[in-house]
A and B are shown apart, each in its own frame.
Chain A
Amino acid sequence: MRLAAVLRRSTRALAGVACSCALAAPAAAQVADPHYGDALFQFFQERHFTSVTTLMVSQHFERLPWHEDDAEVLRGGLLLSYGLHREAGQIFAGLIERGAKPAVRDRAWYYLAKIRYQRGYLAEGLDAITRIEGQLPGALEEDRALLHANLLLARGDAPAAAAVLQRIAPASAAAPYARYNLGVALVRGGDGSAGRALLDELGRAPAPNEELRSLRDKANVALGFAALKDEQPEQARVALERVRLDSPQASKALLGFGWAAAALKQPKAALVPWTELAGRDAADAAVLEASIALPYAYAELGAYGQALARYQDAIGAYAREQRALDESIAAVRRGTLVDALAAKNPGEEMGWFWALRELPEMPHAGHLAPVLAGHAFQEAFKNYRDLLFLAGNLKGWQDSLGVFGDMVDTRRRAFAERLPEFLSRSRELAMAPLKARRDALAAQLQQAESAADGQAFADTREQALIERLDRVQTALKQSGGDPEAAAARERTRRVAGALEWQLAQRHAERLWAARKALAATDTALAEAREREAALVKAQRDEPARIAAFAQRIPPLAQRITALIPRVDTLAAEQKREVQELAVAELQRQKDRLNGYTVQARFAIAQLQDRARLAQAPGGPDAAR
């Protein structure tokens, strides 16, 4: 739990260097292309791999007409976060070259400055950052100031860096960390008084939450040790007294407090913190140092016997700790640490602001805190974890690509199987006779219209009546001028007139209906023609389309196949790299222990010499 807290704080403290790319996108973006919004949606949830790949897909399909430049900034920022400096640099340079709008250009200059800083091109980085003309969106403005300060600091211009940092709002989350980093850098760089003033300001500042209280403790410890180095033990004591006793920094503060008392020739006062420390976990470097500091204080007080015993205890403790460190080194070399870390910290995506959250259960886990808190280790482990993610990604695609291949085969077979049936149905519905029938009907309609022929639109019943009337009229004609048929002739004439009148009445309505029906027929025929054309096109194009898909799969499969061993090899190499970083840190702990052991043996030898001299004839004890 405590280790995790240390790691969280350590990661935060590094935030000044690893500027946030979460700000590549404008805050509360106004989105005019939904696919750009889709990339942002993934991005805001820290699914950066999904974000960059979907963004690149949308760029491929040219679906981002309103956000071309924004998309490039986002892509460049995402690639930069994965360490692809070269590609990211080309993207940002391209944006500037093609004269993107000022807001985009400013963001591009910011990222170029960041790339140059990370690659050590400080003058060029400073040049880029000073080309930003306007205010950057959201918290990116704060990151700009942090980056500017880091660039100036790296160039050795601490006063200018301090001036830049002064412009960051004190309420901003990053400001205290930036001031702490600057204070430490100034002290290390030789401008002790300026650095101590910054640390002192931080060390006395109110801290409303645990994170800031912890930072305040760190500032006080840094200030205390800086004062000790400058032989100002009184000031060191003032700073170290401000560290909370339950703070992760408490051991260091107690150690320094003891050294301050010793420097003030108050070995009795030094005994108090060092005795407290000696009872703590031996994996803590401050506790180990206290183990030889305590007998030193006893010796200063003249309690040589106790001093000797304590030195011997310390040598024993160091030997045990050396063995424990050897075990830790062996465990790290076996891969236990890295495997356990990877198992405890799984992730769906490649990392960015990802940080270790869970620590593995290992013997002597206390050794690991300084190992895991190191920036270099975290970055190296992040790379290893990224490679594991990529290996999983590639294996997933290998399976999917197999499915795509099957899908293409199924489509090819289905097309081949269904085509004859479609063709036969198409032949049955031959278009030419249908078109001829339609043209004949249209001609009839035209004729009926021009002749105002009502009979042409007679329905079946009316048609039957007309035929019947024709038959009756023929029969009446054959009967000659028979006077008995006169009444029938008159009746027939009237019926025929009534029928003609009815047909004339309905002519306009029926003509309109017929025209409408002909138009519907034309539409149906046009659709049928389109379908026929589509069928012809499909017949011609679909095999080529399916073949094109089939051709695209093998090269992609080859790329996957070629990448899998590359990723696996690199993962194995990176794992060794991570392990070696951990071993190097553990080895440093061993070297420190060796140093303490030598000091303890030397002190014992001195005490023994003193005792021998005291017992020698003429010595103080001999006289007694």
Chain B
Amino acid sequence: MQRLLLAALLCLATAAQATETGLDGRIQDVKGDVIRLNRDLLVLEEELLFPASTQVAVFVSMDVGKLFELESVQVKLDDKIVGNYLYTPLEVQSLHRGGVQRLHLGNLKTGPHELVAFFTGKGPHERDYRRGTTLKFDKGTDAKYIELRIKDSSAKLQPEFEVKVWQ
């Protein structure tokens, strides 16, 4: 039954396609073409500038985050500042909703490295809060994804800053 429905849907889609020769249809076609072209160009750009063998990406996310009002993040890789980001309220809201920000995309040689991140904002009771976190990691021949996660510690009633390395 479901198969029949899907077949019917595809027929509808084909019928719609046949009628989409007007201006609106041509505009939708060109939009689709440009979106696909953008994907292919972005793939080329990433492969050219950030090949997987050297790629490292640093993400920022927030899990609950009620105990910390994020204002800015600074990220250092091997003592070199690679990201310094000041957040807008909309960006903070997007993190609260489950968005994950790619703060940095770059290249690193294989071998040991050190990442240091500083989070600035308001902690419990509106107090200014600045906290750092450090990660020593080995860069292999695959791309490395590092997530800086802001969490609430309900036990301590303090924000926590976790670093997670994705494989």
Q: Please report the C-alpha to C-alpha distance between residue A48 and residue B26 in the assembled complex, in whole angstroms.
A: 21
CB contacts (< 8 Å) of B95 on chain A: these are 41
In the complex, what distance in Å separates the CA atom of A31 from the CA atom of B12? 35
Q: Which residues between 106 and 126 of chain A lie within 8 Å of chain B, taking CB atoms? A: 112, 116, 119, 121, 124
B37:A40 contact, CB within 8 angstroms = no
Q: Of the candidates B12, B33, B38, B101, which one forms a contact with A41 in the assembled complex, judged by CB atoms under 8 Å apart?
A: B101
Is B32 located at the chain interface by the 8 A CB criterion?
yes
State in angstroms the CA–CA spacing of A401 and B99 once bound together.
30
The digit string for A380-406, where 1 denotes a CB below 8 A from any CB of B, is 000100110010011001001100100
Interfacial chain B residues near A60, Cβ < 8 Å = 39, 43
A49, B27: Cα distance in complex, Å? 16
Task: Tell me which of A45, A87, A408 contacts B32 (CB under 8 A).
Answer: A87
Is B31 at the interface (CB under 8 A from chain A)? yes
A22 nearest CB across to chain B (Å): 10
Q: Is the CB of A86 within 8 A of B6?
A: no
A50 to chain B, nearest CB (A): 9
Q: Which residues of B contact A374 (CB under 8 A)?
A: none
Interface bits B1-18 vs A (CB < 8 Å: 1, else 0): 011011011101100110
On chain B, the number of residues with a Cβ less than 8 Å from chain A's Cβ atoms is 54
Q: Which residues of A contact B46 (CB under 8 A)?
A: 57, 61
Whether the pair A86, B26 counts as a contact (CB closer than 8 A) is no
**Minimum CB–CB distance for A501 against chain B, Å:** 45
Interface residue? B100 (CB, 8 A): yes
A112 near B48 (CB under 8 angstroms)?
A: no
A350 in contact with B12 given A25-B98, A29-B98, A38-B59 (CB within 8 Å): no
Do residues A567 and B34 form an inter-chain contact, with CB atoms below 8 A? yes
- Please tell me if the beta carbons of B16 and A85 are within 8 angstroms of each other in the complex: yes
Inter-chain contact A408/B24, CB cutoff 8 Å: no
Within 8 Å by CB of B39, from A28, A56, A387, lies A56
In the bound assembly, the distance between CA atoms of A52 and B38 in angstroms comes to: 10
Say if the beta carbon of A445 comes within 8 Å of chain B: no
Q: B27 contacts A570, CB within 8 Å?
A: yes
A55, closest chain B residue (CB): B39
Residues A390 and B34 in contact, CB atoms below 8 Å apart = yes
The residue from A119, A401, A567 contacting B30, defined by CB atoms under 8 A apart: A567
| Residues from 36 to 82 in A contacting B, C-beta threshold 8 Å | 36-38, 40-45, 49, 52-54, 56-57, 60-61, 79, 82
- Note all chain A residues with C-beta closer than 8 A to B166: 34
Cα-based distance from A116 to B23 in the complex (angstroms): 20
Chain B residues in 8 Å Cβ range of A86? 13, 16-17, 20, 28
Within 8 Å of chain B (Cβ to Cβ): is A560?
Answer: yes
B96 sits at the interface (CB 8 A): yes
| A563 within 8 Å of B (CB atoms) | yes
B102 at the interface (CB under 8 A from A): yes
With both beta carbons as reference points, the residue of chain A lying nearest to B61 in the complex is identified as A37
**Contact between B91 and A56, CB atoms less than 8 A apart:** no
A44-B97 in contact (CB<8A): yes
What B residues does A85 contact at CB under 8 A?
Answer: 13, 16, 28
**Most central of B10, B44, B91 by chain A CB within 10 Å:** B44
Q: Are A401 and B24 neighbours in the complex by a CB distance under 8 Å?
A: no
Task: Say yes or no for B153: interface residue by CB 8 A criterion.
Answer: no
Q: Is A19 an interface residue (CB 8 A)?
A: no
- A514 vs B70: C-alpha distance when bound (angstroms): 56
- Contact: B42 with A53, CB < 8 Å? yes
CA distance A621 to B146 in the complex (A): 100
Q: Please indicate the chain A residues that have their CB under 8 angstroms from the CB of B96 in the complex.
A: 28
Q: Which residue numbers of A lie inside 8 Å of B, CB to CB?
A: 25-31, 34-38, 40-45, 49, 52-54, 56-57, 60-61, 79, 82-87, 89-90, 93, 96-97, 112, 116, 119, 121, 124, 127, 350, 383, 386-387, 390, 393-394, 397, 400-401, 404, 407-408, 549, 552-553, 556, 559-560, 563, 566-567, 570, 573-574, 577
Identify 21 residue pairs between A and B in the complex whose beta-carbon atoms are under 8 Å apart, listed by A's number. A26-B98, A31-B99, A41-B95, A45-B99, A54-B42, A56-B35, A83-B24, A83-B27, A84-B31, A85-B13, A86-B13, A87-B32, A89-B9, A90-B10, A93-B9, A96-B2, A97-B2, A97-B3, A124-B9, A570-B26, A573-B23
Residues of B within 8 A of A (CB): 2-3, 5-6, 8-10, 12-13, 16-17, 20, 23-24, 26-28, 30-48, 57, 59, 61, 90-91, 93-102, 145, 147, 166
